[in-house]
Amino acid sequence: MKTFIINGSHRKEAESLKTAKFIQQTLSAILPERETYLFSLSENPLSLWDETQGGPNSEQWEEPSRHLKQSDSLIVVCPEWNGMVTSGLKNFLHFCGTDLVGHKAGYIVTVSASDNGAYPVAELRMNGTKNSRLCWIPEHLIVRQVSEVFNGPEATGKSDTYLRQRLEYGLRILDAYAKALTPIRDGNLIDHEAFPNGM
């Protein structure tokens, strides 16, 4: 059982990377049987998708795609930038076909320096998975006032305490969905040859 975690911020000192690392530590602490792999776009953006050198066959994509294929779940950590998901994360989703994320459980975590963060949740739920058939779970996490939370092993305030509890809850739900979806992928029901794209 492996969970792939992506930090969708391409800023060097990204709070989303801090958040993604905290999520990785928390997941390993509460569900030690679960392996994790963290892929960060900070200073390491994927080149823009195209059919030739920049696409799924690029050298850059070899390692993350291998881990994604082995994973039964995906955690997307993304800041809200100008009310949107980052362009780097959208680009990443172009790389994620049914062979890598189809019918796997996805957990959305968004990050805001202030009190925002709902727009990227809505955006991810609305689009980006039509063809990949990634299944967002109903639980998500919005990390507001991100500089105040997830800064060390102990919670430092009411919001930090709540978000840590809510994160643990979300991770346990994700684990349950990841396990529940496995027999769907392993069964004979899915036919992406007949129906390669969503409607």
CA atoms of 61 and 27, how far apart (whole Å)? 24
94 binding ligand FMN? (CB under 6 A)? no
Partners of residue 60 on adjacent β-strands: none
Of 64, 107, 70, the closest CA to residue 182 belongs to 70
Q: Which stretch binds ligand FMN (CB under 6 A): 64-72, 78-86, 123-131, 132-140?
A: 78-86
Of 84 and 173, which has the nearer Cβ to ligand FMN? 84
Of 13 and 59, which has the nearer Cβ to ligand FMN? 13
113 binding ligand FMN? (CB under 6 A)? yes
11 binding ligand FMN? (CB under 6 A)? yes
Q: Which stretch binds ligand FMN (CB under 6 A): 28-36, 50-58, 77-85, 149-157?
A: 77-85
72 binding ligand FMN? (CB under 6 A)? no
Q: Which amino acid is at 186?
A: D
Please state the closest distance from residue 6 (CB atom) to ligand FMN, in A: 12
Which residue in the set 112, 123, 136, 150 belongs to the binding site for ligand FMN (CB under 6 A)?
Answer: 112
Residue 112 φ then ψ, to 5°: -140, 140
Q: Which stretch binds ligand FMN (CB under 6 A): 25-33, 61-69, 105-113, 124-132?
A: 105-113
Residue 107 contacts residue 170 (beta carbons within 8 Å): yes
Residue 119 contacts residue 126 (beta carbons within 8 Å): no
* Interface characters, 30-69, with ligand FMN (x: CB under 6 A): ----------------------------------------
CB atoms within 10 A of CB 70: 13
Of 98 and 112, which has the nearer Cβ to ligand FMN? 112
CA dihedral 24, 29, 32, 36 (to 10 degrees): 0
CA atoms of 106 and 169, how far apart (whole Å)? 14
Which residue in the set 3, 4, 6, 14 belongs to the binding site for ligand FMN (CB under 6 A)?
Answer: 14
- Residues binding ligand FMN (CB under 6 A): 9, 11, 14-16, 79-83, 111-114, 116-117, 146
